[in-house]
Amino acid sequence: MIRVLHVIDHLGLGGAQSALLDLLANMDESEVFSEVAVMHGRGLFADQLESRGIKVRSLAPSKWPPAYVPNFVRLLRAESYDVLHFHLQGANWLAKPLASVFSRAKRVAHDHSSADLRFRGWQSLPLDTLGHFFSHRVVAVSQGVADFLATYEFVPRSKITVVPNGVNMRAFRPTNEEQRAAARAAMGLGTNSFVIGALGRLAPEKNFSSLAELARVMPDVEFVVGGTGPERAAILEAAQGAKNILLPGEISDRCAFYAALDAFVLPSLHEALPMTVLEAMASGVPVAASNLEGVAAAIGDSGVLFPPGDSVGLEKAVHSLVDDPDKARRMAAAARERVKSHYDASSTASKVADIYRELSVR
């Protein structure tokens, strides 16, 4: 039995958290025993992990003061792990170097971020580069991310393994009309409206304000943008009082969220391999998204792509789904089959388990 501790900054809404949940839900428990240590707080995903029998250890009630530092050291001294798997910057910058001193476990870094230097920023490179000296293996969620790691952070190619995110196909699946009606009623959406949805942290890089602007010129379509974050006020301002856009806040039941949609739109300026796109595709929802490396690789020809930041391209992409329901249905069916073939979480879990096995025998 390989004992693994996943260390992550927080368990609020986010792609890394979704990916971790689906990864652990599909891991072979007879071979890998998994626990999660969240550096501060608990968050939306803590309860979901625990409902699957996965122990969650919160290392501190809040980000400040940083009680997670001594508490993480105590945990490493009290428990024996074979592999420590780190997600997000705080875990990789702070917890991983501590682990190199206080634990003999092998260390895996998981890079979920965009492969765009404009998003990451030059200021992150020194800490990221230094942090990789403490990694025995680095998991990249796409080939573009792997290339970024090798080019800008000088990670040896031999240390990098590309493992695309995977979605839980058992949880995310097409729904029937009754489930669809119930999901819409719960959010106050029209029964017969065409509903466009987006989901994620309300942050500048997600570019959700472009959907608010689109809502003003497409009054017959309902838009729902799930999530929380600093851009909420800006999104509402961009909508300029439009009555056909809803911001319901944190989404605890993502399956029900996708069930309410006719199409999913991701207008991001930067992405790696977003879980929301994979979840929508697995749920049988047609997708229109920014033409970014990881996104385009995931969608292939089963969705509609438009240039990042191009409001005209975004509008055309949305109209292509709204105005041609048959095309949307064909894309939805093709999208689910594509995810099943290339982005099933069971395959992701198997590849990650292979890494654990390889490191554990060294």
User: What are the mean pLDDT values of the chain's consecutive 10-residue runs (362 residues total)?
Assistant: 97 94 96 98 94 96 96 98 97 97 98 90 93 97 95 97 96 95 95 95 97 96 97 95 94 96 97 96 98 94 97 97 94 96 96 97 74
Which residue reads 């990650």 in tokens? Answer: 352
Nearest to 141 by CA among 105, 94, 87, 206: 87
Kind and range of the H or E run holding 224: strand 221-226
- Give the pLDDT of residue 118: 84
> Residues 83, 88, 92, 94: is their CA dihedral positive or negative?
negative
- The pLDDT score that the predictor gives to residue 116 is 87
Coil, helix or strand at residue 86: strand
List the beta bridge partners of residue 196.
Answer: 223, 263
Give the predicted TM-score (pTM) of the model. 0.93
Q: At 247, which helix (H) or strand (E)?
A: strand 245-249
Task: Read off the amino acid at residue 355.
Answer: I
Query: Cα torsion for 294, 299, 305, 310, to the nearest 10°?
Result: -30
Look at residue 241 in the predicted model and tell me its pLDDT: 84
Neighbours of 207 (CB within 10 A): 21
**Helix or strand or coil: residue 287?**
strand
Q: Is residue 286 packed enough to be buried (19+ CB in 10 Å), middle (13-18) or exposed (0-12)?
A: buried
Phi/psi at 102 (nearest 5 deg)? -105, 5
What is the structure's pLDDT at 201? Answer: 94
- Domains identified in the chain and CATH numbers: 2-166+344-360 (3.40.50.2000), 177-342 (3.40.50.2000)
